[in-house]
Structure 1
Amino acid sequence: HLDNPVVSDMKNMVFQGTTVSSGKGNAIVTSTGMRTQFGRIAELVQESEKDMTPLQLDLDDLGKKLGVLIIILCMVVFGAEVLKDVSDSIIEELMAAIALAVSAIPEGLPAVVTITLAIGVQKMVQRNAIVRRLPSVETLGSTTVICSDKTGTITKNEMTATTLFTNGMTISVSGAGYNREGEFTRASERFDVLADPHARKLLEIGQLCSNSVLQEDVTGASDWTIVGDPTEGSLLVLAEKAGLPYEETHQEYSEVTEISFDSARKRMTSVNRDSKGNIYAFSKGAPEVLLPLCTHIFEDGTVRPLDEQEKESIIQINAGLAEDALRVLAFAYRPLEREIPGWEPEAVEKNLIFVGLVGMIDPPRPEVERAINLCKMAGIRPIMITGDHKLTARAIALKVGLVEREGEVLSGVDLDRMSEEEFREAVLRCDVFARVAPEHKLRIVETLKDCDEVVAMTGDGVNDAPAVKTADVGIAMGIRGADVTKEASDVILTDDNFATIVSAIEKGREVYSNIRKFVRFLLAANFDEVFLIFVVIMLNLPLPITAIQILWLNLATDGFPALALGVDPPEGGVMKRPPRKPGAKMMDRGMASFILVAGFVAFMASFTIFMVNLTEYGGFIPGITGPMVDFENDISVVTGMAWSQVLAHSRTTVFASVVTFELLFVWNCRDEYHPIWRTTMRGSKALMAAVTVSIVLTLFTIYLPFMWPLFKTVPLNPGDWILIILTSIPALLIPPHWLFGHKHETIPN
C-alpha cells in the first residue's frame, strides 16, 4: 500500500482516456466524471489563468504615463494661452494644445511593436518553434526558469544499447540513437563481438526475441526508424552495429512459435528451428525475473551449472548498470529435444542457459549539454521535471551538465511530505524532480511564479496541460504532444528539442532588444517635438510645425526607420547577459536619460533653426521683439515677404530639420552598449533602405507643388540645408553607453 501514490505507481488501476490493448478482466469503478484522473486534469486546466506578459505590462505602463503627461501638458498650455491672450479664439488655443498632444503620442509605436513581434514569430518558425500567442515572443526573452520534461526533450526518445555483459566481460558500445555508427570496446580496446561466441549469441537472441522492424529513415535524421517497440529496436540496431544482419539470423533460425511479453511475466520467448532442424527457446526479460529460471550459464565456450553465488554476482552487476540509468535486460536460451505440446510457458521457460545482460539508455540529445551551458551563461535556470525514476533522472542530469555529482534529486513523494515553506525552499534549491504527478508540476510552476520568476514549462501529455497553461510561457511538443496540451500552450516545438527552447529564448531576447531600440528612437523623436512646441507656446511664438506635419513625422518619416530597427541585427552578447529582472520596466533610468538628453539636443537644433529663420526673414520675433501678428494677413516685413510666407518657410525648415536630425539619430539607437563609432554597419540594409525612403518622402512634401497646400511647406534653398545639416550633427554624438550606464561593460559586439 502506498500513501498518496502518483499515477505511474498505481499499477492496479485503469484510467479514463486509456485503451485496453489486449486481454480482459473485471474492474471496480472508484471514480467518475471530474473525480477521475482525467477529470482532475481538465479541472486544473480550467482553473489556470494567463497573466499579462512582461511586454504587455510594460507597454500598458508606458501608455498610462504618456497619457498622464499629455493631459498635464495640454492643460498647462491651454490654460497659459487663455490667460495671456484673450484675443485668440478658444479654437486656436485648443489647436495649440492638440498639436502638443499629437507631438507627444508615438502613433507608430503599436503598429511597429506588432509587426516586430510578427517578424519574430516568422523567424522562430525557422528555428522549429511555432508561436501561438504573439506577446510570447518577447516573454521567451524574459524567461528566468525553464522547466523541462526529460523524455524526448532532453533525451532523444531513442533507446540505445550502451553496455553488454557476457562471459564475465563488460563491453562498451558507442554511438547514439538509431544510427549504425558505433564500435565495441573492452578495456578501451576494440572488441570483435562476432568473433566471440558469447557476444554473438547475445546479439542473435536480441534479434530473434523481437517483433519490431528497422526501416530506412527517409528524413535523413537517422539511419533507421523503428516500427515497433523502441527497446526491441535498440537491440536490432546493436546487432547491425556489430555487422550481424537481421535477415541472416532469421534465415538461420525460422520461427516456430512465440510466447509474448506482458507486464506480469516481464519476459518473452521465441521458439525457433535452425537450418539443421534443431529447436531452441530464446528468452529475454527483466534480470530479476529471468535469472531465477536459469540453471546453467554459457561461459568460456561451454555450458555449465549456474550456482546461487554467481546469480548474486550477476544481480550486483545489474544493480550497478541500473545506477547508471540503464534499462537492463537479461538473455538466455535453451535447446529443446522436441516440440512441446501447447508450448505452455511453464514447460518452455525453465532450465534456461544464461548468456548475458544488455544495458540500454535513452541518450541525451547531443546539443542539449551546450544549450544548458548557454542557459547558465545567460542567467537562466534549467529544471528537469520527469515521471522517471530518481536514478534515471540523476544520471541524465549529470550527462547533460544540469547538476553536479552531489546534486539533489527530489521525488513527488518527497514533495508531499514537505510543508509549504519547505516546498518553496526545495523548488528554489533543487534542479531535478522525479516521479512527479500533474499536481506537483503545477505547484512547482506556481511556486516559481510566486517567487517572481518568469517560467517556461514544457509538456507533451494531457497531464501536463495545467502546468503548461499556468506557466508564463507554455511549450508543447509538436511531434508527440497531446492536442489538449498544444491548445493550452503558447509555443509549439516542431522538433521536441530542448535546444530549440534556448534558441527561441535567444530570438525572444533579440526581439525585446530591438523593441527597446525603436521605443527609445520614437520617444526621443517625440520629446523633441514636445519640447519645441511647449517652449514656443510659452514664449508666445507661433507654432513651429503644423499638426499635419507632426503626424507625417510620427507615421511616415519615423515609422520606416522604427520598423527597420525592429528587424535590425541584435546587439552583441544577448545570451551573455542575465534576463531582465521580473517587474523591471522598459522605461528604466538609462532609457529615460537617453530619451530626455536626445530629445533636448534635438529640441535645441530645431529651436535654433526656427529662431534663425524668424529673425533672418521676419526681421523681428513676434511677441518678443515686436507685436504678435496674424500670419494669415499679408503684412509686409523688412524683406518684403508676407508674414505667411515667413512662417511657412520657417516651419518648412524646422520640419526638414526634425527629419534630418531623426534620420541621423536613428543610427545612434542601434546599440545601447557602444557609441556609434564602435557599432558595425553590418546587416543594416533594412535601416539604410528605410532612411532612404524617409528622405525621399520628405523631399516630396517640400518640392512637389501639389503637396504644398496640404503640408504648408515651401521649397528650401541650399543655404537652408547647410544650416539644417550642421545643427543635426550632434545627433551622432550622443553617447548611449554612458547614458544607459554601460560605459564599463565589455559585451562583445
Structure 2
Amino acid sequence: MTELNTHDNITEKWFLLTPKETEEKLQSSLTEGLSSSESLTRLEKYGPNELQAGKKTPRWLVFLQQFQDPLIYILIVSAIISAVAEHGGHDWIVIAVIIFLNAIIGFFQEGKADKAIEALKNYSAPDAQVIRDGKEISIKARELVPGDIIVIHEGDMIPADGRIFEEKNLKAEEAALTGESVPVNKNINIIEDPECPLAEHKNMLFSSTLATYGRGKVIITETGMQTEVGKIATMISQAEVKLTPLQKNLEDFGKWLGLVILFICAVVFLLYWLLGGEPWLKALLSGVALAVAAIPEGLPAVVTVCLAIGVTRMSNRNAIVKKLHSVETLGCTTVICSDKTGTLTKNEMTVRAIWTGGKMYEVSGSGYEPEGKITLADQEVSVANIPDLEMTLRIGILCNDARINQDEKTGKWNTFGDPTEGCLVTSAWKAGMEPKSTNDKFPRIDEIPFDSTRKRMSSVNEINGKKMALIKGATEIILDFCKNIQSDGIIRPITNEDKNQIIKAYEQKASEALRGLGFAFREAEGIPVEIEELEKDLTFVGMQFMIDPPRDEVKVAMQECKDAGIGVKMITGDNLITATAIAVELGMIEKGEITHEGKDIPNMTDEDIEKCKVYARVSPEHKQNIVKALQNRQQIVAMTGDGVNDAPALKNANVGVAMGITGTDVSKEAAVMVLADDNFATIVHAVEEGRGIYDNIKKFIQYLLSSNIMEVLVLLIAAILTLPPPLVATQLLWINLVTDGAPALALGYDPYDPTLMKQQPRPYNEPILTKNFVIQMFFRGGVKTIVILGIFLLYIYPTALQPTEMHYEDLVYLYENVDGIAETLGATVEGLSDLELLVIKYEDHSTLSLLSSQELLLDRYVMWHARSVCFLAMMFGEMANAFNCRSEYSSLFKIGLFTNKIMLYAVGISTILTIALYIPGSPLGLIFKVIPMPFLEWLWLIPMIIIVIGSVELMKLFYRKKLNL
C-alpha cells in the first residue's frame, strides 16, 4: 500500500466524503478491514491510540521555585550575614526557619501535578470490536489505527473518531464533547457544508462518546491526539498558566518593596559606618536588622492561611477549590461563561406541556422525579376524566423502552434509556400511571423499533381485550399517516383545520425551544405488524412538549450576579433556538436580543464578543476564542462546564469551574474549582467568598505594612540622628512573627461586609498599594514612630526616668551564668556590691570586663532598659493597630470590639507570650535582650494604645466626611 497522509499535514474533513471515498482515502476495505501486518505497520507509524501527557515539572524544581522571590533573596542574604557576624547568635536561625516554612507551604500547595491528560486517558474506551483479515475480533483500543473497521453496539464507548458507513437506528450521547443535550441520531449521508459545526457531524462518531441506541459500523479516520478529544488534550497541555490578580499584585509589591529595602539598608549602613563611627561589620548588622524589620516575613504564610480559611468556608458551601489563589480571583470576576446543559439546566428532559383535544395543558415538576401536577388554566385536572389526555399519556408510557428509578443512596431519580422516552414515563406517572402496573395491565405484544429514517416507533399492546397499535414520533410525520383525530373522547375524521391547529400549537412551543412528539393509535386486530400496514389510517390524539429545564435556583443566582456587576454568558453546543429560549427564561437576555452561533465567532471583534450573551453550536476552539476575547477586553473570566469539550476553556479561563456530579473527570482536573452540588448558585457564593477574602487580605497587608513602616522609620531616624538602634534584630523578628502573626491571621476570620455583593467588581489591575492605602499606611506607621522614638529618647538621656542607683537583681538577668563569670574573675556573687564590681557581658559576645565606673555601667543598663520599654510599647501598639485595620473607613466602635472573637484570642495569646519575656529568670528574655521592668513602667501601654487607636479614628472620620460614607 502507498503511504497515507491523513496525519502528516492536515486532518481531512471526513464528513464531506462518502463511505466509498473514505475507504479509498484510507486504503482499507469496508468488508475485510485491514490485514494484521498492515495494522502493525500503521501502529508503528502513527503510534498507539491514546492521549499523550505533557512534560511535568520535576518535584525538586517545584520546591526550588518557592525561593524565587525578591524578598526571600534579601532574607537569605540577611541570614548569611547574621550567621557570619554573630558567631553563634540566634537571629540567622530564626530567619532560616521562616524561609523554609514558607517554601514548604508553597511546595505542597503548588506541587500537585496536573492530571487532566491522565483523566482524558481514563475517559477513553479500553477495548474495541474490530474487523481484521475479514474476521471480527476484540482488541485493546490503544491498538486501533486509521483504516480499521470497528463494530458499534448500544452501550459501547466509542474508541476513536470514525466515518459511519453502516447503521441501524444508531444514536450517540455526545453532550460531554459537543454540549448537545439529547442523543444524536446518526446516519451515513454525506454533509455538504464544509463549515458544519461538530455537533451536526451526524455521519461521524467521536472518541470518548457513548452509543446509546442501535448499532453500526465505522471506519476509523483519526486516532490518539488527532481525534477531537485529542485536540482538546493538546489545548489543555498548551494552556498558559496565568497568575491570579492577587499573585500579580504581590509579585509587583514584592519587587517594589525589595528595591526600597535594599536602598534603605544601604543608607543605614553608611550612616552608622561613616557618620556614627561604628565598625563596618556592626554597621552592616544594623542594616540587616532594618531588612528584617522591613520585610513582612509572615505575609506569605498569612496569605496562604487566609486563602485556606476561604477554601474551608467554600467547601462547607459545596465549592471545592483546588488552587488557593483562585479563591481570591473569584472576587474580581467580571464575567461568568457558563455551559448550558447540566450547568444552567438540569440535564434531564422534562415534559412541560401537553396538547390534546384542542387544549394546552401545563405540567409542573422537573427532571425524572414523578412529582408534579397537570393543570389547565392554572386548575389541576383529573386525567381519568379527560380521555384524550389519558390516551396521550398512555401511549407515551407504553410505546416506550426507557425506565426510571430512584437511587436508594442519593434519592435522585434517573432514567435508563433515551432521555426523551424517560420524561414521557415521568409525565404519565405524574398522572397516576405507575410504569410497572401500567405495563402489566396493558402488556406489549409486538413492536416496530424507532428508526431514524421513519422518525417514529410503534408498539402493539393489549388494551381492554383488544390489540391496539400505539405510535409516537415526529408530529409532522405522524400527521401524514393520520385519517382520524380523537377529540373529547370521540373519534372523527381529521380535517385540514385540525392539522393547521396542531401545526400552529407545535410551532408555538417550538419557538419556546420545546421539542414536540406526536401520539397516535389504531386498532390492530388482524393487522400484520408491518410498517406499511400497521402505521397507516391512524387516529391522532395529542402531543407532548419537553425541554431540558433550567435549574430552579439559577434565576436567583442570575439576579445576584446582576446586582454584583457580574455578566453571565451562555456558551453551549446545543442549537440556537433552545439556548435563546433558556436564556430568556432565566432573565439573561430579552426577547429579540441578538445571539450568535459558533461559526459567527471568527468574524466577530472582541467588542462584539463581549456584548453577546448567548452562543450556540460552539466548538472547543470557539470557547477558547470567547475566553481570550473577553480577557483582551480586560475581563476576569470564570468558565463553568462539565464536559470534555469544556476542558480547554476551563484551563484558559482565569477561574475554571467544573460540575462535581455531572462533570467528567477531564473537566474536574482542568478546573481549579469543582461544584459538589452542580449548583450555579454556588458560584455566586464562591464569588462572595472571594471578595471577602480579598478584603481581609488587604486588611492584614495594611496591618503588616503599617507596622513594618514604623519599625523601619524608627531605625532609619535613629541612624540619621546617630542614636543607637532602639531595637535589635531578634526583637524585630519577635514582633513580626509573634505579635504581628496571630492578629494578622485573625483578620482573615473577620466578618465580611454585608454589602459585598452589591458592589461592582474591583478592577483586575488595581494595585494593592492604592493612594488611600499608602496614605493610611504611612499615617498609622508614622504616629507609632513618633511615640516610640519619644520613649527611647526619654530613656537614653538623663531624665527623672533613669534610676539614681541600680540594684543587683535588676542586672543579674543580663547574664547567662553570673556565678561562673564571677568565679572566673575571682569574685563571688555574694561579695559583689551594687556599684563597685559588676560583670558585664557585651552584646557582641566577645568581651568580659570588670567595671567600677558607675557612668559606664549606667550607660549599659540604660540602653537595655530603654530597648525593653520601647519593645513592649511597640508590641502593644501593634496589637492596637490590628483592631484599627478591621475596616478601612468604619469606626472600630461601630464594628464592635467583640465581633471577631478570633482577634480577641490572638491578642490574648500575643499578650501572654510578650509578658513571658519579662518574667525574671526567663531564658527568652536573654535571647531577645529585654530585662524585667517595674510595674509603673508598664503604664506606658495606656497612652500608647490611646494614641494609636485615637489617631486612626480621627483619620477615618476625615475620610468618611470626605467620601460621604
Mark yes or no: TM-score above 0.5: yes
> What is the one-letter code of the residue matched to 1:716?
M
Match of 2:23 in 1: none
Aligned to 1:624: none
- The answer to whether the 8 A contact 1:675-1:737 is kept is no
In 2: Cα distance, 1:128 partner to 1:289 partner: 46
TM-score with structure 1 setting the length: 0.92
Quick one: structure 1 residues 174 and 586, their matched pair in 2 at CA, closer, same or farther if it must change by over 3 Å? same
Q: CA deviation at 1:220?
A: 6.2
- 2:880 equivalent among 660, 664, 670: 664
Q: CA deviation at 1:679?
A: 0.9
Amino acid at match of 2:342: G
Q: Deviations over 1:537-592 (max 9, x none)?
A: 11111111111110011011111111111122212312111111021111111211
Q: How far does residue 365 in structure 1 lie from its aligned partner after superposition?
A: 1.2
Assess, with a 3 A threshold, how the Cα gap between structure 1 residues 740 and 344 changes in structure 2: closer, same or farther: farther
Kept after mapping to 1: 8 A contact 2:276/2:722: no
Shift of 1:433: 0.9
Match of residue 289 from structure 2: 99
Superposed displacement of residue 77, structure 1: 1.0
Equivalent residue for 2:576?
390
Choose 1 or 2 for highest CA Rg. Answer: 2
Alignment of 1:555-594 (within 5 A): 555-594=737-776
Alignment of 1:271 with 2:271, yes or no, is: no
Structure 2: unaligned runs, 5 residues or longer:
1-191, 805-840, 844-848
The verdict on how the C-alpha distance between 1:21 and 1:228 changes in structure 2, with shifts beyond 3 A counting, is: closer
Once residues 599 and 320 of structure 1 are traced to their aligned partners in structure 2, the CA distance between those partners, rounded to angstroms, is 69
Q: Distance in 2 between matches of 1:153 and 1:492?
A: 12
Evaluate the alpha carbon distance shift between residue 672 and residue 345 of structure 1 in structure 2; reply closer, same or farther with a 3 A threshold: farther
Paired AA for residue 588 in structure 1 = T
Structure 1: 5+ residue stretches without partners: 621-629
Q: Which residue of 1 aligns with 2:433?
A: 244
Q: Which residue of 2 aligns with 1:475?
A: 657
Displacement, 1:635? 7.9
1:366-405 CA distances to partner (integer Å, 9 max, x unpaired)? 2111111111111111111111222211211111111122
How far 1:101 sits from its partner (Å)? 0.8
Please list, as runs of the form range in 1=range in 2, the aligned pairs for 1:444-483 lying within 5 A after superposition.
444-483=626-665
Match of 1:375, as an amino acid? C
| CA deviation string 1:85-137 (max 9, x = no partner) | 33x21121111111111110111111111111122222222222221222111
Structure 1 residue matching 2:589: 3-state secondary structure: coil
How far, CA to CA, are the matches of 1:180 and 1:741 in structure 2? 59
TM-fit CA distance, 1:746: 8.1
Give the Cα–Cα distance (whole angstroms) in 1 for the partners of residues 231 and 253 of structure 2: 40
Matched, 1:209 2:209: no
In structure 2, the residue matched to 1:623 is none
Structure 1's 736 and 522: CA in aligned 2 closer, same or farther, altered over 3 A? farther
Structure 1 residue aligned with 2:386: 196
User: Deviation digits for residues 696-731 of structure 1, max 9, x if unmatched?
Assistant: 000001115222211111122232122222122122
Tell me how far apart the structure 2 counterparts of residues 737 and 275 of structure 1 sit (CA, whole Å): 88
Deviation at 1:739, TM superposition (A): 9.1
AA of the residue aligned to 2:677: D
Do structure 1's residue 42 and structure 2's residue 233 form an aligned pair? yes
Q: Which amino acid aligns with 1:731?
A: V
How far apart in 2 are the matches of 1:206 and 1:23? 20
Map 1:609-628; keep pairs closer than 5 Å: 609-615=791-797, 616=799, 617-618=801-802
Secondary structure of the 1:153 match is: helix
Match of 1:650 in 2: 866
Q: Deviations over 1:161-207 (max 9, x none)?
A: 12111010111122333444433222233322221001111111111
- The counterpart of 1:691, out of the listed 901, 907, 910, is 907
Which residue pairs with 2:944 in the alignment? Answer: 727
Give the direction of change, closer, same or farther, for the CA distance of 1:572–1:188 in structure 2 (3 Å limit).
Answer: closer
Larger displacement relative to structure 2 (170-179 or 699-708): 170-179
**Is the 8 Å Cα contact of residues 385 and 432 (structure 1) preserved in structure 2?**
yes
| RMSD of equivalent CA atoms | 2.5
The answer to whether the 8 Å contact 2:349/2:367 transfers is yes
- The match for 1:369 among 533, 544, 555 is 555
Quote the residue 2:325 is aligned against: 135
Counting only pairs closer than 5 Å after superposition, residues 278-293 of structure 1 correspond to structure 2 as 278-293=466-481
Superposition pairs for residues 293-372 of structure 1, below 5 Å? 293-338=481-526, 340=528, 343-372=529-558
Match of 1:493 in 2: 675
**Shift in Å at residue 462 of structure 1?**
1.7
In the alignment, is the contact (CA less than 8 A) between 1:631 and 1:647 conserved in 2? no
Contact 1:297 1:353 in 2 (8 A): yes
After TM superposition, the structure 1 stretch with the greater mean CA deviation from structure 2, 678-687 or 113-122, is: 678-687
Q: Distance in 2 between matches of 1:29 and 1:10?
A: 15
1:507 aligns with 2:696: no
Shift of 1:335: 1.2
SS at match of 1:703: coil
What CA deviation, in whole Å up to 9, does each residue of 1:601-647 have, x standing for no partner? 11112112212222334599xxxxxxxxx987868668x96222211
Q: Distance in 2 between matches of 1:49 and 1:264?
A: 46
Contact 2:387–2:488 (Cα < 8 Å) also in 1: no
Q: Give the % identical residues.
A: 42
Amino acid at match of 1:687: M
The one-letter code sitting in structure 2 at the alignment partner of 1:527 is I
Distance change in 2, residues 1:566/1:746 (3 Å)? farther
Paired with 2:212 and 2:396, the residues of 1 have a C-alpha distance of 24
Taking a change above 3 Å as real, the CA distance of residues 465 and 569 of structure 1, as seen in their structure-2 partners, is same
Deviation for aligned residue 1:688:
0.8
| 2:425 partner amino acid | L
Q: Is the 8 A contact 1:147 1:383 kept in 2?
A: yes
Give the 3-state SS of the residue equivalent to 2:918 in structure 1: helix
SS where residue 579 of structure 1 aligns? coil
**What secondary structure sits across from 1:575 in the alignment?**
helix
Aligned counterparts of 1:708 and 1:196: Cα–Cα separation in 2: 92
Alignment partner of 1:700 out of 916, 920, 928: 916
- Correspondence for 1:235 among 412, 416, 424: 424
Residues 683 and 333 of structure 1: CA distance in aligned 2, closer, same or farther (over 3 Å): farther
The Cα of 1:213 is off from its aligned counterpart by: 2.5
For residues 739 and 608 of structure 1, do their structure 2 counterparts lie closer, same or farther at Cα, with a shift above 3 Å needed?
same
Bigger Cα displacement from structure 2, 603-612 vs 436-445: 603-612
Query: Residue 636 and residue 398 in structure 1: after superposition, are their counterparts in 2 closer, same or farther (change >3 A)?
Result: farther
Residue 625 of structure 1 corresponds to none
SS at match of 1:146: strand
Distance 2:232 2:336 in 1: 22
Q: Does 2:252 correspond to 1:61?
A: yes
Shift of 1:225: 3.4
Task: Give the TM-score taking structure 2 as reference length.
Answer: 0.72
Indicate conservation of the 8 Å contact 1:668/1:736, yes or no: no
Which whole-Å CA distance do the structure 2 matches of 1:146 and 1:644 have between them? 65
**Structure 1 residues 427, 357: CA separation in 2 closer, same or farther (over 3 Å shift)?**
same
* Superposed displacement of residue 249, structure 1: 2.0
Q: Equivalents in 2 of 1:431, 1:597: separation in Å?
A: 46
Q: Does structure 2 conserve the Cα–Cα contact (< 8 Å) formed by 1:661 and 1:729?
A: no
Post-superposition offset of 1:593? 1.4
CA distance in 2 between partners of 1:361 and 1:746 (Å): 51
**Alignment-mate amino acid for residue 468 of structure 1:** L
| 8 Å Cα contact 1:635-1:642 kept in structure 2 | no
Q: What is the SS of the residue equivalent to 2:447?
A: strand
SS in 2 for 1:590: helix
Cα displacement (A) at 1:344 = 3.0
- Tell me which residue corresponds to 1:627: none
Q: Does 1:709 align with 2:898?
A: no
Partner residue of 1:404 out of 579, 585, 590: 590
Distance 2:210 2:842 in 1: 85
